[in-house]
A and B are shown apart, each in its own frame.
Chain A
């Protein structure tokens, strides 16, 4: 624990670090760049109609589906992503660079292409999907499972990258000490390693969750768009944009508000994770 707490305090001790003026100006421009689109959204939002839009059944359905899918995608990302991060951070094996690149490729793949790629692999005619269909009667496209799969595909890399960085920079002497005291590998992982990288785990999970929540391209391509099964908030927003742009504005503000609340709420842990990985 001390390994992560120490640098955090060190960083906090000097809050008025002075930035050179050009850097400050550039940072200001960047902050404006991020802030302005949201100001634009707030400015154009038809506030008088907000309540009517938010209380419609279709919006509630899409919202709940979004929350459900994104949480599932986050859980899957943690369950499978943490071991991958562990593998990449700790185990030397031939082709590690390739595996690492592979696990992050979906971050740069245009999500729509990602969706088509998922068809080729997990679709009903896909390389692997055809056996899922034949042997287990499971078809992923056009199902909620498919939406979760699409979200996990694009979200997990965020968790893997964050966790790998944290695991790499972890002081391994704590783990070694626990091992010499007779703890099993699993025990050390659970009681020593995991608590030390908890900030990174939280940060990575939140990043992955936020990415899953906003996922659009892979979902609409692979899972389709049907209210209640695969029409998540971003999809509902996109469709609403065609009928009623005002409604779309309100829907996107809901997404923004939820993510913003979570990101601000987890700020301390988030910051802790970032500082810990930088200090290592």
Chain B
């Protein structure tokens, strides 16, 4: 805790230093904490200035981790207000393409990030900030004794995966192909949390989700490991879309996600480091 606190203090000091360095044009006398109340930091020279509103678009699988990251970032930067928007990465990519006001985009896969970099573009190249692996999610206690991917081929089993357009659906397909298992899913859900809820509600027997989702479900579900040779490692890229109105604070948020503090929070939800 002491270490974490010291790091927080350091990053806050660093941010303050950059801020005073950056706002020479504006108003030199005002203390850093009071300079930028509004989101109008676009004209400030580049640097990690965390103030104003930033809207973070994050993949559904990041819901819990980013909620905590957002709160921690807000605590370290009292002048910044973080608004989080969670949906499937593909939804978010479409929304950003249509001009949704995103300051940060954290995608659960590369292709959806590529939609943004190829479309409106990002300020800097996306950086990988986390990894995730897949697990089979089953009911608590695993009443049907599902031991691995091969068991999912049982036609009596209600297996739920996601549409191939959604990252988790594509990854699950890769796993099933690697394992040479033909599965007829009962439904192709539109995001990973929908798969979790079908299993948690007891309507589906099994699904393929991220390891982090199984952990997030707590005692409502159980995970069955998928061996490394069959597994897929999902990489999560993050970037500032070029439409951002608050680029500096957005960059500061990304720095925070990549910082040891940010990585510790992600690790506590089961994410791997890049």
Contact = CB atoms under 8 A, between A and B. Distances in A.
Contacts of B198: 224
B201 A230 contact: no
B203 A225 contact: no
Contacts of B189: 220, 224-225
Contacts of A142: 158, 160, 186-187, 203-204
Nearest to B160: A224
B94 A245 contact: yes
A119 B201 contact: yes
Interface in B140-198: 158, 160, 163, 165-166, 185-190, 194, 197-198
A242 B164 CA distance: 10
B88 interface: yes
A225 B166 CA distance: 13
Contacts of A243: 90, 165
B202 interface: yes
Q: How large is the interface on B (under 10, 10 to 19, 20 to 34, 35 or more residues)?
A: 20 to 34
B146 to A, nearest CB: 17
A239 B185 contact: no
Given A142-B158, A243-B90, A124 B190 contact: no
Contacts of B203: 119, 123-125, 141-142
B91 A242 contact: yes
A248 to B, nearest CB: 9
Nearest to A129: B203
Contacts of A119: 201, 203
A215 to B, nearest CB: 15
Interface in A223-280: 223-227, 230-231, 238-243, 245
Nearest to A141: B203
B186 A239 contact: no
A22 B203 CA distance: 54
Given A123-B202, A125-B202, A125-B203, A225 B187 contact: yes
Nearest to A222: B203
Contact of B190 (A230, A239, A245): A239
A225 B165 contact: no
Contacts of A239: 163, 165, 188, 190
Contacts of B94: 241-242, 245
Interface in B80-105: 88, 90-91, 94, 97
B90 to A, nearest CB: 3
Nearest to A245: B94
B160 A242 contact: no
Q: How large is the interface on A (under 10, 10 to 19, 20 to 34, 35 or more residues)?
A: 20 to 34
Nearest to B205: A124
A119 B189 CA distance: 16
B187 A242 contact: no
Interface in A78-96: none
Contacts of A224: 160, 186-189, 198
A242 B191 CA distance: 11
Contact of A225 (B91, B190, B201, B202): B190
Given A125-B201, A141-B203, A226 B188 contact: yes
Contacts of B197: 116
A238 B190 contact: yes
Interface in A162-203: none
Interface string A106-150: 000000000010010001110000000000000001100000000
B267 to A, nearest CB: 29
Given A242-B91, A242-B163, A242-B166, A225 B188 contact: yes
B53 to A, nearest CB: 27
Contacts of B166: 242
Nearest to B91: A242
A225 B94 CA distance: 20
A220 B166 CA distance: 15
Nearest to A124: B203
Interface string B22-54: 000000000000000000000000000000000
B186 A226 contact: yes
Given A119-B201, A124-B203, A242-B88, A225 B158 contact: no
B168 to A, nearest CB: 12
Q: Please indicate which of the listed interface residues A116, A141, A238, A242 has the most CB atoms of chain B within 10 Å of its own CB.
A: A242
A36 to B, nearest CB: 16
Interface string A12-52: 00000000000000000000000000000000000000000
Given A225-B188, A242-B165, A123 B90 contact: no
7 contacts: A141-B203, A224-B187, A239-B188, A241-B91, A242-B90, A242-B163, A245-B97
Nearest 3 pairs of A and B residues by beta carbon: A224-B187, A242-B90, A142-B186
Given A226-B187, A238-B190, A239-B188, 11 more contacts: A123-B202, A124-B203, A142-B160, A142-B203, A221-B194, A225-B190, A239-B190, A241-B94, A242-B165, A242-B190, A245-B97
